Chains A and B, each alone.
Chain A
């Protein structure tokens, strides 16, 4: 007759330190809280249910949930990781390994969890053990490669990803990561093949598209890269990958400006001319306020390729496209600090606007 889920609470001050391993008995602060939590999770593990343990500065709260069938510890730990509870997940996985040092699922999940927590050294050690014990364990080589890449061991990472691809050529994550690692080490052509395969296998994966787009951009295939960046922005609107894609597209646009040579863009000449007229008669402080506001907006990514998207400023009335704002910023910077490089070469358009405006 299982009991319903319930909480047990007691004061942290009443916790009996002698319950902890000797080395942990004198811990203070967060280290002590963590040790108590891990101890209790370990105590409750494997009793046909799951205990969620929270330890605050003054109390311990244990929420016990009955389950009809006890999941293996490694599985329980992996589930906690999936739901973002790394403390609980890692504690359970460590316990699983303590009970069985060759538990492949525990090695895999703990290696991944510690890697996500930037405990790369320990993660690497576990994942190396995993591929030694169970090289066929699903995802083992990819997980090891990711941990190696995180610690800057690019040759090792490429080797691990290659193992994964050899084992399963349809492993999309292996392809994606191998492509990224090869790109990182300058092996762009081979990388591109894997990245192309990855987006075929993972057509909705914005990161895979971003990796491909960056590779293409680095390889000078800017037109295709631009298309790939656009794909990222469609798959991840407003997200982190989208921001990176936007920066990529801006770089390509900037490159386009530079490559354009003598051909001036009339819209840019016009925007620069407007800015010159706007700043005429303004103090340097006023110009600086406007320029800084645009620069701040730019840190979030201003699209110079989308004339429809409009932005507003606190320091200036009206609505502006991304390109328009960048032109104002460019002109402003020329007045405040001409040495600053905006990364968008519109100096020819600016010079033309100055000439038309009557400035030398």
Chain B
């Protein structure tokens, strides 16, 4: 139920029914769910030049809508949009006082730069790298919950989901090449690879292709992947526990103190 949260509701963007209707029914229902939970419309659109396959920007500071963007021509649009929407569902399923944003002040980034061995790089690049690894921390940890939910509850999207996951797995495998790894400091590469190792192991089990985890195990990432898996399994799969999950992984990966949580506010 939407409630006024300040001095008057922000104006909503009109929901473009024809736009929504082009998505799978599951996606349409998710859009409605997000809109009902957040009292903001969801605007889904292609974005030329986007670097990732899909992204979501929750409405903040009075912004009129949540924005879900995906790469033009992406073949698995329904899955990509659904997964981004589910991040919003988890966020807005929490009580207002337990909705969090990840942020980092300069001193936290500095700590991250030091911990990840990024001090040798130009400052702007090093900070961008820290932003990226923190983003991966959030998207992989909560992404595990989201993907698991889609796999179990949206069989109509399973084919798209599998295709996207295989694409991601292939990208992660390619990132093992020495030519790529040697461009970045080892601590950063290890954090990235540990999360990728867990991703490969978990999907190897779901897709019944345990071979997917073998290269990561061969490179010594099995123990860290198992540690992340244990944290994932020990923390309840409830949106309110997502912050604890991120903190647990951050601790395991040496990213504690590299970011902090800000109370999320839609207004």
- The interface of chain A, by Cβ under 8 A from chain B, is 1, 3, 6, 8-11, 14-16, 18-19, 39-40, 43-44, 47-49, 51, 58-60, 62, 64
Contact = CB atoms under 8 A, between A and B. Distances in A.
Given A47-B209, A47-B211, A64-B211, A16 B178 contact: no
Nearest to A9: B177
A48 B209 contact: yes
A49 B209 CA distance: 10
B56 interface: no
A1 B161 CA distance: 11
Nearest to A43: B214
A176 B164 CA distance: 59
Given A1-B163, A11-B178, A16-B220, A62 B209 contact: no
A36 to B, nearest CB: 8
A16 B217 CA distance: 8
B218 A58 contact: no
Nearest to A61: B177
Contact of B177 (A10, A48, A64): A10
Contacts, number: 61
A217 B89 CA distance: 91
B218 A19 contact: yes
Given A8-B173, A14-B178, A16-B218, 14 more contacts: A1-B162, A1-B166, A3-B169, A6-B170, A6-B173, A9-B178, A10-B177, A10-B218, A15-B219, A43-B211, A44-B214, A47-B209, A49-B211, A59-B178
Interface in B151-186: 159, 162-163, 166, 169-170, 173-174, 176-178, 181-182
18 contacts: A1-B166, A6-B173, A8-B176, A9-B176, A10-B176, A10-B178, A10-B215, A11-B182, A14-B219, A15-B219, A19-B218, A39-B218, A40-B214, A43-B214, A44-B211, A47-B211, A49-B211, A51-B211
Contacts of B174: 8
Contacts of B173: 6, 8
Contacts of B75: none
A60 B216 CA distance: 12
Interface in B18-33: none
Contacts of B211: 43-44, 47, 49, 51, 64
